[in-house]
Structure formats: C-alpha cells, structure tokens
Chain A
Amino acid sequence: MSTQNAPDLTTPVPRGPLPILPPPRPARTVEITIDGKVVAVPEGSTLLQAARSVGIDTPTLCFLENLTPVNVCRICVVEVVGSRTLVPACSRTVEPGMVVKTDSERVRLSRRLVLELLASSVDVSTAPQFQEYMRRYDAKPERFGTPAPPAPTGERDASHPGHHHAPEPSHAAAVAQSVKIDNDLYVRDYGKCILCYKCVEACGTDAQNTFAIAVAGRGFDARISTEYNVPLTDSACVYCGNCIGVCPTGALMFRSEYEMRQAGTWDESKQTKTDTICPYCGVGCTLTLQVQDEKIVKVTSPLDQQVTHGHLCIKGRFGWEWVNQK
C-alpha cells in the first residue's frame, strides 16, 4: 500500500472536554429464571440481554445492537411459561418472575424451521453466521424441495399483491433473481436477501435518514426496493454504505468484493483487518480496513464504536481508491 500521499494517521485526533452528564438513575433490577438459572438484570432489559448475561447464546438475524429491534426473523424466539406463543427474545423485555426456556423442543423446532424456510428460498452461501446456525439446529432446507431457478429479471419487482402463480410441484419457491448492478460502489443481490429489514432501518431513522429503500410488495413477494425499482443512481441513495454494513447475508456487497468473488480472487485467508481513524473529517470514525494483496478490498466500522456505532459516510466507506493507486 502506498503511504506517499496518505495523511499521517499515527497522531491521535485531539479530544475536546467531555460533557458533564447527570449521573444515571440506578436502574431497578428484575429477577427472572432462564433455563433453570435465576438471573437479575436491570429493568427494561430484553430477554436476549438477560440470556447473554448468563452466557446463553441466542441466535439472531434481524437484531443488531445499533438498530431498533424489528423482531421479524423469529430465530431468537424463546418459551415464556404461561405465554400461548413463543416470544422474540430480542425485543421482549423482562418482567419479574418470568420463567424462560431457551432450548426447549418447541424453541428448537421453530428456530430450525425459520432456518429451513429461509435457506430453502434464499441463497445463504455468503452468510457464514447463518450457516453456523444451520449446523447448530441441524437444519435441512432440502426437505422442502429444490429451490426454484432465478426469476426472469424484473419479475419479482413486478409482483401483484394478493396474487401469485400456482406452485410448481418440482420446485420450492425462492427469491433467486439476477444481481442489481447499477453503480460503481455496491451491488444488490436480492437472491440473498432474508428480508431482515436492517438495511431499511440503517437507511432510515436508525442512521442515515435518507430513506432511499423501503420494503415493497406483500407476503412472499415482499422485497427491498427503491420507488418503482428505479436504479440507485436515480434514488435518494447517498452511498454511505451503512446498509452494506448491517446486511447479514452479503446481499448488499461492495462492488470490489463482488467482482473479486466473481473472478474467484476473493480469499479471506489472505486478508488482514486493521483499525484506523478516518482521515476525512472531524467526526473521527473508526475504520476497519480489510486488506488483501496490499489493496483495501472492503471497509467496515466496529459496532461498538462510541460515536457512530459502526455507521460511516461515503468518504470513509468508499473513498480509499486513491490509497490503492500505486
């Protein structure tokens, strides 16, 4: 990597004085039982936080620490004794005396089915976390049949709410379709979309307030779309790439990564990750540079970054081509 015209990144950005905040009110704690263990957590905690506090690993797909829970994927469901249905751990808050089971037969069945239903209709080949869940819950998506071949370009975007074609006995309906490539910075491969709503949230009030994409359609034809499926270049997109940052399946991907994968040159074993501070402006976002063969191939930002919680702008996310130019 050439450092010739790069700014000196070793000098830390000077910090201003910290604002004086009133001390937080001591939160009351709530006691619940999870898998036989009594757990005390602050009032307002979610069942997910409570489970994590005692080392119970609960799978999540649509949940992310820096986004408002939408509780749509339902992989995190747990059994609360006395509740007719299972409840989503990511958004349900603790109530005193709750008795929670996170690994009952019912819980395992629903989690397995969520994985199978998704994997039988979506390409999860670039979603390692998802695949790890599949192993954990012994998911066998092939039980539902061979996924349907890609729909002709534009067909899924032209669906009619309340209407669908009769099922094909030979195929399991799937969201496979051609990749949307309409700009230089990132691609949208909605054949890999599990509809977790994360990108919509990141583009909306949870981060970017740009509202370039939303959910359109209904039911199985629901999909992420711009208005009338116009190319991103005609939409409100500002290329902050925060949607890419939160996408759990690789449906949204840097064009660089996508092209390297197509060419067969993407090789994570040869990649390093280095944290640095974005040189462009005073916000001072942390950048994680993913480097392969002395070239930056992708830029992310840690979720626990204090200022921006992993969100970036176009400059920090994509403005590194000059570094790659030798």
Chain B
Amino acid sequence: MDLHFTADEPTAEEQAAVDGVATLIRADGSKRTYLLPVLHAIQNRIGWISPGALNYASRVLAVPPAEAFGVADFYGLLSTRKQPPAVAHICDDIACKVKGADQLCAAMEKLHGPEGSSADGKATWYRSPCLGLCEYAPAVLVRTAGEKPNDQLLASPKAIDVETAMRGRQIPQPILSSSVPQKGQPGLKLLRRVGQVNPESLDDYRATGGFQALRRAIAMGPGEVIREVMASKLVGRGGAAFPAGQKWNAVRLTSLPRYLVCNADESEPGTTKDRVILEGDPYALVESMIIAGYATGCEQGYLYIRGEYPLSARRMEHAIRECRSRGFLGDNILGDGVRFDIEIRIGAGAYICGEETALLNSIEGNRGEPRNKPPFPTQVGLFGRPTVINNVETLINVPHIVLEGGEAFAAIGTAGSTGTKLFCLSGHVARPGVYEAPFGVTLRQLLDMAGGIAGSGKLQAVLIGGAAGAFVGPNDLDIPMTFEGTRAAGATLGSAVVMPFDDAVDLRGILLRIASFFRDESCGQCVPCRVGTVRQEEILHRLHCGKPLSSPGGEVVLLKEVGQAMRDASICGLGQTASSAIESALARFPVFGGKP
C-alpha cells in the first residue's frame, strides 16, 4: 500500500509508546489489529493522539492515516485534540444521577471550569455514561497520562478524592466483596469465590476447585462438552438470549482457524455483573475460555474488556500471565496437547463495541461499527473466520455444566431459563450490588434480597434490562425474572439490570438521560439510528421544556414513528432498542403525555 503522510513527526516518547506495542506484532498475523492497543499507548503516554504520533503509528502498522484517525476519533476515551494529562470522567448516567452525580459535576465545574475546559492546563473533566460501578454511585474514572499512566475507577468519591486521584495519587477503594452482599452464603455458584478467594492467586484458585472442570472437559472430548452445554440449555447472558450450545455447535463443521471471543465490554447502563467476575474470580474466566476454546476448536481467544475497568484488566492480565507460566495456557495445556491462548483487548469508551460484530471490528483495528447480519460471526467473524463470541457470565457457567452435567444444570431455574443468574441491583435499593439467584426469582424477591426500596421508600418505577430495557411499575413486581417471564410482561431481561426509582425521582429526567445516551453512543452508521436518536432526544426535550412544535400529542406521534423506524430499519440492536425504555415509560406512566 502506498501511504501518504503529513509532515508531522512523533516525539521520542510517542515513538517509544508505539514501539512498545509494536513488539507484539506477529509475522503471520494482522498488524492493524494492534491499532487500538497502539492508540491506547499514545493516549496513556501523552494524554492525547497527536498528528505526529498518529503518523508514526500508521506507518508502523501500515494503516492509512485517514483511517487511523477515523478509528481514534470514534472512541470516547481517546482524544484527537490536545487535552490535559489528567481527566476525570464523572458518571452522570441514570444510577448515578439519582445519587448526586450532578452535584459532583457542579463541584468539578467550580474547580476546573465547564466540562472539557481546564483552569490550570493540568486537569479537566467530562460527564460520562455508566461506568459499571453503579452500586457505588456516583462513580468516577480518573485517567492520568504520563511515564507512569494510571487509571482509577473511584467508588462514590468526594470532589477532593477526584482531585487527589487527578494528581496521580492512589485512592483506597472499598473491598470488592461489598459489591456482593450475598458473599459467603452457601449455595452460590458463580459468585462463590468473589470476595472470598484471593483473585491474584492461582494456587488459591486451584485449592477451591479450579481447573477440575478443564481436566474433566479434556477427558470428555470436545463433542461431549458441546453436547452437555446443549443439554444444559444455557442461554447467552449478554442480552441477546441466544442458546450457547447452538452457537458452539454451529462452528463445529467450519474450517480452521476459528476464534473464541469473550465479550467483557459490559457497557449497558446499570450492568456491573461481569466486572465483579473479572475482578473477583479472574481464573474462572480463564478456565472457562480454555474449555470453550477446546470444545469449539479455537486455539486463539480474545478477551475484550471495556476501557473503564482498569482493575479488571490488571487482574485478567495477571491471571493470564500466571496461567501461561504454569502450563494452563499455551501449546500443551495440562500436558494433553491442547493449544489455547488468550489476548486481551481494552475498549476505549464505546457502548456500541459490546455489540458482537462491532466488537470484532474493534479488535481488527477498524471503527466499532456493527456489521450487517447475516453472515453471522459463527460463519464470518474475526478476521473473516468462524468465531464464537460469548459474554463473561455465559462462559463462567460452563465449568459448572461440565462438572455437574447438562441435565442437572437444566434442572435449576425454569424450562426456558436454566441455571442461576447474576442480577445487577442499583438505584434506590438499600443494598445495591450483584446478586445470584436461580432463574424464576421474581422482581419482588430480588428487591427484597437487596433490602427493599431506599430513598423515600416508596417505589415509583423499576428499569429492567438497562437503557435498552423497559420500565415497569409497582404493580408488576411479580414478574418472574426469566427470559420468557420478562418478555411476557412486555419487558426484556437484557443484561439483568434491576434499577428501582423512588417516587421523588423525576422520571422525565431519567428518560432524557437515556435519550441522550443513545444519541451519544450510536455509531452513526445507519440513518434511522444516527438521526433518529437525535430526533428522539429533541422531541423529549421540547416536551420537557413545554415548547412542542405542533402540539404535545403531535410530538408523541412523531416520537412513535421515529421509534418504529429505528426498531424496524436500524442495522443493529442499539438502534432497534433505542426507543424501548422510553416507549415503555410512556405506556405506563403519566410522563411526556403518556398514560395518566
């Protein structure tokens, strides 16, 4: 390829940052797949992606600079304009909004000036979508660039803590186990080690049953493992509710190589469950990925972790390194000739990259734009090869299925939703956090487990499934929290977000935030979603400030038409669900001219 570059040259630091990643490039593989890691390295070193650094990165990876720029400019955590080295991303998304996020933003504004500006040139701040730490609302991500870059996800910090973190100092964080209020309770499966077993010790993992399932799986053989997963009726936990066994089976007759991808992008507002696993039981995910890779004939796995989870990334990196050095990853796993290894990719602030095909594009070094389906990833996936992609929680069920058998697993829960489920409780509950319960538990039971409604104590509405989910009311608490139960109630289980709001919350503010979220997170590829999410926000905004274009009724008609076009004609699930929570609220509550 004949590439053309502008005259901008990299500095020595920028060059070193790029070179540090470039050593990973393998002769037989794609260079471009290292674009996102290289951009991260530059951002972490100098705090933004400068033209000289981008030129150098493009040269090393043989990517046209216009395309590399298009990739860098896609992600919220990368900046293509000069900005101060310390940046605080203050979550003002729904769970944090009802827990004082706006006050924290006001404090930031006082110290640094309006969002994005910097009084001293050293630090700035931005509002952020959900950071996945909703049980500690309001949450803040502080990133400091430099020789020793540091990212910290802060649990309900005060403004002074944010300031201290922006000066590069470490802020002590609450222990993870308090994100799991059920810790230590008997009967937990997926959460049994979280907060109980040292997540950095491979020996402790093994001492608590670790790698037994892998040994058993290798004894069973790939076909048998897939049969058990099919018998378990395990359904994907990432939101799309697709049967895992069916997906695995679909790649069996495809040609090699194939890839396994674990989706740890967890960005659906309100969702925290995968983070708790990544931080609290990282070896379990490694073991699960090895079993999945073994069963589906994939020798290379990718783990895509959202960029807002620095501790998760560190724990997973550590676990993978340990496993590699102890023979649990590599060319001859457990001495049985099994080959499998895992490469981590860190996201950079884009909800859409959780969509499976956008995620594949992101790994490949392209913009995180979803692909049209069909073909499905099992046919044409990563680097054009057959690919199995599963959510973190889906995968960590697999060792249990292997050990206890598919049928025993299927006996837990309901006919259509088998096994146990992780639920993410936040908003107005007394004890927010991640809860594990067998499928079949009702919404009321979950709220009770979490100590009941906090705030005023009077429930107004519950958001189920996240921003792409639906609102239900106080009369809907007997909904069984299963795939089929939520569907029958006109909602969706989604990523198992359960977020109640007390009667003091202005639901209109929540709906406006959701509309704003989708406008920000649309990849911009297709018209219904790119412009529809803008128009949806505008309509709600006009209704909110009492300036309807025609009449309030006319605006609602317009809103519904936009909703239908987004649902029917968008490429991916983002656009298809961008109106669901809003429409569900209008159908149930007297907001914006909805049901009185």
- What residues make up the interface of A, taking CB atoms closer than 8 Å to B? 71-75, 77, 85-86, 88, 91, 106, 109-110, 113-114, 117-118, 120-121, 143-145, 158, 160-164, 166-167, 169-170, 172-173, 194-195, 209-222, 225-228, 230, 234-236
Can you report 11 residue pairs joining A to B where beta carbons are below 8 Å apart?
Answer: A72-B525, A72-B527, A106-B568, A110-B565, A113-B569, A143-B549, A212-B64, A218-B521, A219-B530, A222-B525, A222-B530
Kindly state whether residue B205 has any CB partner on chain A within 8 Å. Answer: no
- Interchain CB contact under 8 A, B127 and A163: yes
Nearest CB of chain B from residue A153's CB, rounded to whole Å: 16
Cβ contacts under 8 Å, B51 to chain A: 227-228
- Interchain CB contact under 8 A, A86 and B541: no
- Interchain CB contact under 8 A, A227 and B65: yes
Nearest CB of chain B from residue A129's CB, rounded to whole Å: 16
- Interchain CB contact under 8 A, B6 and A109: no
Cβ contacts under 8 Å, A225 to chain B: 66, 69-70, 73
Kindly state whether residue B570 has any CB partner on chain A within 8 Å. Answer: yes
Q: A118-B527, A211-B64, A227-B68 are contacts. A77–B129 as well, Cβ < 8 Å?
A: no
10 shortest A-B CB distances, which residue pairs? A222-B524, A211-B64, A162-B76, A236-B4, A113-B565, A117-B531, A214-B70, A227-B69, A110-B569, A219-B522
Instruction: List 11 additional contacts besides A218-B522, A220-B524; criterion CB under 8 Å.
Output: A74-B570, A88-B372, A117-B528, A120-B535, A169-B542, A170-B547, A212-B4, A212-B66, A219-B519, A222-B524, A226-B66
Nearest CB of chain B from residue A190's CB, rounded to whole Å: 14
- Interchain CB contact under 8 A, B565 and A211: no
Residue of B at shortest CB range from A226?
B66
Give A124 to B395 CA distance when docked, in angstroms.
49
**How many chain-B residues does the 8 Å CB contact rule pick out?**
66
Q: A113-B561, A162-B76, A173-B538 are contacts. A227–B524 as well, Cβ < 8 Å?
A: no
Kindly state whether residue B24 has any CB partner on chain A within 8 Å. Answer: no
Counted as pairs of residues, one from A and one from B, with CB atoms less than 8 Å apart, the total is 201
- Interchain CB contact under 8 A, A74 and B526: yes
- Interchain CB contact under 8 A, A211 and B524: no
Give A226 to B523 CA distance when docked, in angstroms.
19
- Interchain CB contact under 8 A, B74 and A72: no
Give A219 to B4 CA distance when docked, in angstroms.
28
Cβ contacts under 8 Å, B67 to chain A: 211, 214
Residue of A at shortest CB range from B562?
A113
Cβ contacts under 8 Å, A173 to chain B: 534, 538
Give A73 to B532 CA distance when docked, in angstroms.
12
Within 8 A of A (CB), among B255-279: none
Cβ contacts under 8 Å, B526 to chain A: 71-74
Nearest CB of chain A from residue B565's CB, rounded to whole Å: 4
Within 8 A of A (CB), among B43-100: 51, 54, 64-70, 73-76, 79-81
Task: Please tell me which one of the listed residues A121, A161, A162, A163 contacts residue B531 in the complex, with CB atoms under 8 A apart.
Answer: A121
Cβ contacts under 8 Å, B372 to chain A: 71, 88, 91
Cβ contacts under 8 Å, A213 to chain B: 66
Give A193 to B67 CA distance when docked, in angstroms.
19
Give A167 to B533 CA distance when docked, in angstroms.
12
Cβ contacts under 8 Å, B394 to chain A: none
- Interchain CB contact under 8 A, A218 and B569: no
- Interchain CB contact under 8 A, B126 and A163: yes
Kindly state whether residue B367 has any CB partner on chain A within 8 Å. Answer: yes
Cβ contacts under 8 Å, B521 to chain A: 162, 218-219
Kindly state whether residue B545 has any CB partner on chain A within 8 Å. Answer: yes
Give A191 to B520 CA distance when docked, in angstroms.
20
- Interchain CB contact under 8 A, B530 and A161: no
- Interchain CB contact under 8 A, B561 and A109: yes
Give A77 to B570 CA distance when docked, in angstroms.
10
- Interchain CB contact under 8 A, B70 and A113: no
Give A110 to B520 CA distance when docked, in angstroms.
22
Cβ contacts under 8 Å, B362 to chain A: none
- Interchain CB contact under 8 A, B530 and A220: yes
- Interchain CB contact under 8 A, A162 and B349: yes
Kindly state whether residue B378 has any CB partner on chain A within 8 Å. Answer: no
- Interchain CB contact under 8 A, A215 and B70: yes
Cβ contacts under 8 Å, B116 to chain A: 160, 163
Give A124 to B521 CA distance when docked, in angstroms.
26
Cβ contacts under 8 Å, A162 to chain B: 76, 128-129, 349-350, 520-521
Kindly state whether residue B1 has any CB partner on chain A within 8 Å. Answer: yes
Cβ contacts under 8 Å, A113 to chain B: 528, 532, 561-562, 564-565, 569
- Interchain CB contact under 8 A, B520 and A74: no
- Interchain CB contact under 8 A, B66 and A236: yes
Residue of B at shortest CB range from A75?
B527
Nearest CB of chain B from residue A159's CB, rounded to whole Å: 8
Kindly state whether residue B571 has any CB partner on chain A within 8 Å. Answer: yes
Nearest CB of chain B from residue A314's CB, rounded to whole Å: 15
